[in-house]
């Protein structure tokens, strides 16, 4: 069985775009592979969160993913900082990671541009920590998007360097788990082609949004004056509403409003009302689960504890072997 590792940034709640984009595929994977999913809280320290924010963000993300269907009995679900072996491997990898190659990483150059006053060593060595995350379980596959390809390439470089240096074939070369064609993009409520919390929070419907908030957001969504002739091509914002309807409503509902549009009889107010109700129906089980889990610290503790145990079992085996390969031998 293939070993899969993925890190989740603790950056906030999940929205419909996250769910229908990557997450559904991500969740399928957990039943087909030996998966390790962790919340990357060490990584998040590069932004200097307060202790309350750090803890709160980790909890929120854990709750959201569990509510969305991440199954701690199928996959190993853990919090990165509960596995200090990762930090040790990071230290060891850093000895053979060159400042020049780290400085050339696109995401690092972007950070320098965006936050010139906080260019810390953690940002520079982000790729070695990410490599440690992956190879601590000697993973084969990493389900990441295009923006992470360069980090994965660096991981392969570190793996090859280690294997060559010690003349071993110890770490496998990890590759991207590519969902390819299966990925769909959910548009925003603001007329943009992508629902994205980093671009515009208001364009997003979060899985935990209350019905009233969902109705308010949908009623405010951008549309247009309405079609003036039959079968007129749709403006982007209108196309967006139809595309969201396609994933949350029934086929009949979608066909009904398509017909109304094509015959110039559509009233966007009616369409939005229907869309809002269908989103509420779709998100209600998620919202209920989020509320239930948020209040159940005992369960969250159990999940994190059990995940840490399983992850540390695999990680400590790797660290023990790596120490021997490097020459740290007991006297
Ligand atoms: P955001 O753009 O809201 O900040 P993230 O960058 O945190 O979202 O995205 C996390 C994951 O969800 C990525 O795998 C990304 O490809 C996917 N994703 C985000 N927004 C969408 C969307 N609108 N449609 C499809 N997939 C999305
Ligand atoms: N860098 C990843 C992101 O920004 C998060 C991450 C950290 C990760 N460590 C990882 C992803 C290891 C996969 C494997 O989304």
Domains of the chain with CATH codes: 3-184+297-326 (3.40.50.620), 201-291 (1.10.240.10)
* pLDDT value at residue 330: 85
185 is catalytic: no
- What are the structure tokens assigned to 9, written together? 């940034």
> In the chain, what percentage of residues exceed pLDDT 70?
99
Pocket of ligand 1, candidates 8, 16, 19, 22: which has the most ligand atoms within 8 Å of its Cβ, to mutate?
22
Q: Say if residue 331's pLDDT is above 70.
A: yes
**Sequence-ordered strand ranges (E) for the chain:** 3-8, 34-39, 76-79, 141-142, 175-176
| Burial (Cβ within 10 Å: 0-12, 13-18, ≥19) of residue 54 | middle
Q: Is residue 25 exposed (0-12), middle (13-18) or buried (19+ Cβ within 10 Å)?
A: middle
> What contacts 56, CB < 8 A, 6 or more positions away?
none
By most ligand atoms within 8 Å of CB, the mutation choice from 6, 10, 17 for ligand 1 is 17
Range with the lowest mean pLDDT among 75-89, 168-182, 208-222? 168-182
Euclidean distance between CA atoms 149 and 304, whole angstroms: 28
| Mean pLDDT (whole number) for 208-218 | 98
Task: Report the pLDDT value the prediction gives residue 57, as an integer from 0 to 100.
Answer: 98
β-strand partners of 47: none
pLDDT-derived band at 287 (thresholds 50, 70, 90) equals very high
pLDDT at 67 over 90: yes
**What are the residues whose beta carbons fall under 8 Å from the beta carbon of 222, sequence distance 6 or more?**
189, 190, 191, 237, 240
Inform me whether the pLDDT recorded for 298 exceeds 90.
Answer: yes
Question: Does residue 270 surpass a pLDDT of 90?
Answer: yes
Exactly one of 194, 234, 310, 317 is catalytic; which is it? Answer: 194
Q: Give mean pLDDT, residues 291-301.
A: 98
Does position 34 have pLDDT exceeding 80, yes or no?
yes
- Residue 144 reports pLDDT greater than 90: no
Predicted confidence at residue 132, as pLDDT, reads 99
- Active-site residue among 59, 141, 197, 272? 197
Contact 39, 10 (CB under 8 A): yes
Q: What is the mean pLDDT of residues 163-189?
A: 91
How confident is the model at residue 182, as a pLDDT?
A: 65
Closest approach atom of ligand 1 to CA 11: 7
Percent of the chain with pLDDT over 90: 92
pLDDT at position 261 is: 98
* In the predicted structure, residue 207 carries a pLDDT above the cut 70: yes
Mean pLDDT, range 2-14, rounded to an integer: 96
pLDDT score of 163 more than 80: yes
Residue carrying structure tokens 């002739």: 229
Helix (H) or strand (E) holding 99: helix 99-103
Catalytic residue flag (residue 109): no
Ligand 1 neighbours by CB, cut-off 6 Å: 11, 17-18, 21-22, 145, 185-186, 194-198
What is the pLDDT at residue 181? 64
The residue among 142, 125, 127, 139 whose CA lies nearest residue 171 is 139
What is the pLDDT of the chain when averaged over all its residues? 96
């Amino acid at each position: 069985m293939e070993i899969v590792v993925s890190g989740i940034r603790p950056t906030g709640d999940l929205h419909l775009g996250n769910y229908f984009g990557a997450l559904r595929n991500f969740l399928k994977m957990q039943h087909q592979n030996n998966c390790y999913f962790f919340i990357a809280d060490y990584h998040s320290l590069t932004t200097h969160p307060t202790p309350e924010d750090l803890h709160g963000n980790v909890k929120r993300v854990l709750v959201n993913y569990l509510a969305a269907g991440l199954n701690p009995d199928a996959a190993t679900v853990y919090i990165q900082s509960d596995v200090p072996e990762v930090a040790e491997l990071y230290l060891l990898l850093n000895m053979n990671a060159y400042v020049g190659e780290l400085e050339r990483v696109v995401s690092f150059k972007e950070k320098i541009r965006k936050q010139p006053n906080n260019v810390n060593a953690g940002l520079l060595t982000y790729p070695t920590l990410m490599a440690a995350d992956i190879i601590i379980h000697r993973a084969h596959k990493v389900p990441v998007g295009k923006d992470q390809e360069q980090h994965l390439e660096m991981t392969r470089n570190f793996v090859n360097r280690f294997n060559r240096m010690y003349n071993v074939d110890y770490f496998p070369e990890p590759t991207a788990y590519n969902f390819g064609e299966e990925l769909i993009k959910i548009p925003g409520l603001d007329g943009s082609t992508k629902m994205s919390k980093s671009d515009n929070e208001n364009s997003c419907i979060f899985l935990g949004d209350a019905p009233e908030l969902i109705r308010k957001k949908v009623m405010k969504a951008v549309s247009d004056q309405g079609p003036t002739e039959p079968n007129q091509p749709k403006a982007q914002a209108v196309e967006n509403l139809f595309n969201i309807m396609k994933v949350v409503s029934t086929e009949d509902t979608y066909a009904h409003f398509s017909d109304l549009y094509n015959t110039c009889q559509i009233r966007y107010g009616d369409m939005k009302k229907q869309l809002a109700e269908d989103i509420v129906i779709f998100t209600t089980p998620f919202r209920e689960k989020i509320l239930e889990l948020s209040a159940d610290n005992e369960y969250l503790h159990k999940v994190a504890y059990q995940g840490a145990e399983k992850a540390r079992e695999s990680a400590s085996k790797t660290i023990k072997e790596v120490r021997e390969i490097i020459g740290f031998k007991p006297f």
